[in-house]
Each structure stands twice: as structure tokens, then as C-alpha cells.
Amino acid sequence: MQIDKAQILELLRGQGDEQRAQQADQELPQQVDTDQHGDLLSRLGISPQDLIARFAGGGGGGGLGGLLG
């Protein structure tokens, strides 16, 4: 699944995790593919599966929920 980097950064910043957002901003491409970039997302502490659930319409109520490891 393709997710715009800005959406991921917004999630991280919404949780007050500016340090991780800055790291993600430096390391992630503009369009993040959850399959292709799954290892990088995991290294940043972001669950690719939870991103898919959130942006495929199953996320709901704001915040990162279980996205951060």
C-alpha cells in the first residue's frame, strides 16, 4: 500500500514524537510503500500492518494507537 510520507509524519507529530518524525522525514521516501519499506518502518518503530489498517479505512479515532513499537 502506498502512503504519503506527510501522513506518517502527521501521525508521529500528533503524538508529540517530534524526534521520531524528524528521523522518519530524513529516511522515508515521499511515497512509502508498506511492502517495499516495511523494514525501514519497523526500524522507526512503526508497524506497517497498523499503517495499512489505518489508511485503508480501519483506523478511526486519531492518534497512533498501536503503530509505535
Instruction: Please state the domain extents for the chain.
Output: 2-58
pTM for this one? 0.76
- What pLDDT digit, counting tens, does each position of 1-43 carry? 999 999 999 988 988 989 999 999 999 999 999 999 999 999 8
Can you tell me the distance from the alpha carbon of 1 to that of 14, in angstroms, rounded to the nearest whole number? 22
- HSE, side-chain direction, 13 A CA sphere, residue 56: 9
The string over 7-44, giving b where at least 16 C-beta atoms fall within 10 Å of a residue's C-beta and e elsewhere, is: ebbebbeebebeebbeebeeebeeebebeebbeebeeb
